[in-house]
Amino acid sequence: MRHLRPVSEITLDRARRDPKFRAELLAQAVECIVEDDVATAKKLIRDYVLSSIGFEALGKRVDKRPESLMRMLSDKGNPNLNNLATLLASLKKHAGVRLRVQASR
């Protein structure tokens, strides 16, 4: 019988190998925030952090304890807008990407 890996494990493996995929995680997180799906946005941001910079280095960049960041992005975490904006600004800089929001009808 073939062993099936969880989707989250597959996502992290791909994100570790593919910088464009990681950048898309950030873009999708912003879109989720705009669409009032903060739970999914936190999961996408957490996947980006786990597959790239790590919580320790991110904590140094945003002057927060790694444990606080992990808690903030957990299922029960409730980050305020200032914290999310700070995280996204730091992560997009780390990724070397520019994110834009475009209105459409």
Query: Cα–Cα–Cα angle for 29, 31, 36, nearest 5°?
Result: 95
pLDDT digits (tens, 9 = 90+) for 32-77: 999 999 999 999 999 999 999 999 999 999 999 999 999 999 999 9
Predicted TM-score of the model (pTM)? 0.88
- Here the tokens at position 23 are 């950048």
Q: What is the mean pLDDT of residues 71-95?
A: 95
Instruction: Give residue 23's pLDDT.
Output: 93
**Residue ranges of the domains in the chain?**
7-95
For the stretch 17-54, what's the b/e string if a residue is b when 16 or more beta carbons lie within 10 angstroms of its beta carbon? eeeeebbbbbbbbbebbeeeeeeebbbbbbbbbbbbbe
Residue bearing tokens 């444990």: 67
